[in-house]
């Protein structure tokens, strides 16, 4: 029983870790696009 629990726990951990990493990448991309948009607006003139 303990082994099953451990494996389930590790799977959940891996999934959440991957999710976190993915979210971080998405946030980075969003920030980059936001910054580019802001740059574009400010230096349009």
pLDDT tens, 12-41? 999 999 899 899 888 888 888 888 777 777
Would you state the pLDDT for residue 15? Answer: 92
| Number of independent structural domains in the chain | 1
Residue 43 has pLDDT above 80, yes or no: no
Residue with tokens 């979210």: 23
Residue with tokens 């990448």: 25
- Residue numbers of the domain that contains 20: 1-45
Would you state the pLDDT for residue 5? Answer: 82
Distances (CA, A) of 43 to 29, 31, 37, 40: 21, 18, 10, 5
Residue 45 has pLDDT above 60, yes or no: no
């Amino acid at each position: 029983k303990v082994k099953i629990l451990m494996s389930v726990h590790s799977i959940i951990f891996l999934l959440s870790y991957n999710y976190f990493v993915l979210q971080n990448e998405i946030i980075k991309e969003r920030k980059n696009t936001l910054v580019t948009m802001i740059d574009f607006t400010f230096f349009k003139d």
